[in-house]
Amino acid sequence: MADQSTSRRHAAGRDDEPPTLVVKRGVRAEDHTQIMRYTPTGTTLLPRVKDAPPPPEEPTATHAPGLRIPGWKQLLLFLVPAVVSFAVGWQGVGQRKLWNDEYATYHAATLSWDDLVKLLDNVDRVLGLYYVLMHGWISFAGDSIEMLRLPSVVVMAFGAGFVALIGQRLLDSNAGLVAGLVFAVIPTVTRYSQEARSYAFAVAFAALATWLLLVALERPVWGFWLLYAVAVGLTAAFHLISVLILFPHILLTWFRYQRSERDVRLWKSLGALALIAAFAMPMAYAGSGQSDAIGWIKADQRAVMQFPGDLFGSNPAAIALLVLGLLAVLALLLAKRGKLAVVFLVWTLLPPVFTFVTHPLLNAFLFRYLLFTLIGWALLVAAGIYGIVRLMTSRSWPQLPIAALVIAAMVLVTLPAQHALRESVLPGESDFAAAAQTVGAGSKAEDGIAYAGNVRALRRAMEYEMRSDTTAWPADIFEVRTAAERGDFGAEECAETAPCVGKRNRIWLVNTSKGDDPWVGMKAERSDTLRRMFTVSEHWNHQEIHIYLLVRRTPAK
């Protein structure tokens, strides 16, 4: 009788006795929509999770309005910024000459396997995976500038695609597309997609790891957590400092699980972090004994002032992105997405602050070590547009025209920086190609060559530039043990100058020291001996490098 009276009251529109809410196990009560079903026993409220409106409180950082979209849309969302990034990165990829670190990559990747193991045992152990990959790639594709840099162009394009997918899960599809495109046109992204070093790989795997984290948070099965752990491990393998991407990752996980600490999914995430530690700690320990290689990094006032311009590729680009980032934080706060704003602030600001504070210990306050923060900056700009549109209207389509204006303005602001990074030789770097051309054009079979200066891979650079015409290359008169034999990037030179010079009448002196004095940049015994035995016959100046033709004062018989 009670059930029949309840049915009659509801049929008459009376609500003096609220019906019972039937809550499905595993679904939060606030996700239910009250839907009346009239049955022979009365009226029951059933949950409708799919059509439930957003909860009245602030959404968690991992909630995304466009979380589930068809696979073909996700592929399209990935491909658009990836193609743009590849096109921008491939444009003029061989126009800029290699620089010191890229010559080091060429040297390491062209060693025999035994010599590569010996090198990694002494220096650059944390880059071992990249050198191994490049060893195989050069064997297959050759050693031209374009082929040396092609892997970086490709993986950075993948990174741009994953940035878009991250934005789609954190915000919506339009914001994801905007984030991917903003990332693709940042000058520093272009610069390091055009560089034969591991930085592009570290950024791409950081983006992949973040996307896998969001997938694992939504579908917390062990397989996704394992893939996430492997992706973070590879991020650290390509550059150890990039493991600081865990700062925003931990925050995303905390915001997702702070109300259900006993949920088994939390333990899965902790298991993934333990696996990551198992990957990263041995690499950190292995690289700790080789910290002398980065002892030159500074964290003084000048380094701090230069950091934003270096990170974004130019001072105008830095100002534009910093202003857009500040506006984005305000827009997210007004749109009641404060947790997401905190995630982006931790992502973009905490790693530089952390490396600055820990500089005496880590020596890691260097902009190219922190390129993964550019992912956060691109997402922050897209989130700002998302927040502004949310304040204006409930529709999402206005994001695209606003974003088109923002991206167009960014392209105009960063265009000078894009042109500058494609110059033949970067500012402050030596023009080894011009130097090698000078030596090759004037050298004779009996000539010798000597090196001075503080460039680590000076010999390797000159050898790369002369690799196609080794018959015209002068003998290295001071080298007694090659870099490969030493397991290093520098050769061992003879202790006494005169015996190594022998009866040679001409020596090509390649010097990367400042000024026009040919005798600087070498030990006193060598400079005194050469000055006494030789005179400078000819002198060529190229960017940050000098070539001197030394002719013996009294020809040897």
Helix extents (H) in 171-245: 173-185, 187-193, 199-218, 222-238
User: What's the pLDDT at 51?
Assistant: 42
**How far apart are alpha carbons 312 and 407 in whole angstroms?**
15
DSSP 241-309: GGGGGHHHHHHHHHHHHTT-TTSHHHHHHHHHHHHHHHHHHHHHHHHHTTGGGGTT---SHHHHHHHHH
The rounded distance, in Å, linking the Cα atoms of 105 and 129 is: 12
Strand pairing partners for 21?
45
- Type and span of the H or E element at 42: strand 42-46
- Give the pLDDT means over successive 10-residue stretches in the chain (557 positions): 46 44 44 42 40 43 54 92 96 92 93 92 86 95 95 98 95 92 96 96 96 89 86 90 91 73 56 60 49 65 92 93 92 88 95 90 87 96 85 74 88 91 87 92 89 82 83 85 88 90 92 89 91 93 94 82
Q: Which pLDDT value is given to residue 450?
A: 93
Residue 256: predicted pLDDT:
77
Whole-number pLDDT of residue 8: 45
Other CB atoms closer than 10 Å to residue 420's CB: what's the count?
15
Q: What is the pLDDT of residue 267?
A: 56
pTM for the full predicted model:
0.82
Determine if residue 329 is left, alpha or beta; phi over 0 gives left, psi from -120 to 50 gives alpha, anything else beta.
Answer: alpha
What pLDDT shows up at residue 359? 83
- HSE, CB side, 13 Å, CA atoms: give it for residue 51: 6
Q: What is the dihedral of CA 288, 292, 294, 296, to 10 degrees?
A: 150
Torsional sign, CA 322, 327, 329, 330: positive
**Enclosing H/E stretch for 417:** helix 399-420
Output the CA angle 473-535-526, nearest 5 degrees. 75
Distance CA 115, CA 268 (A): 41
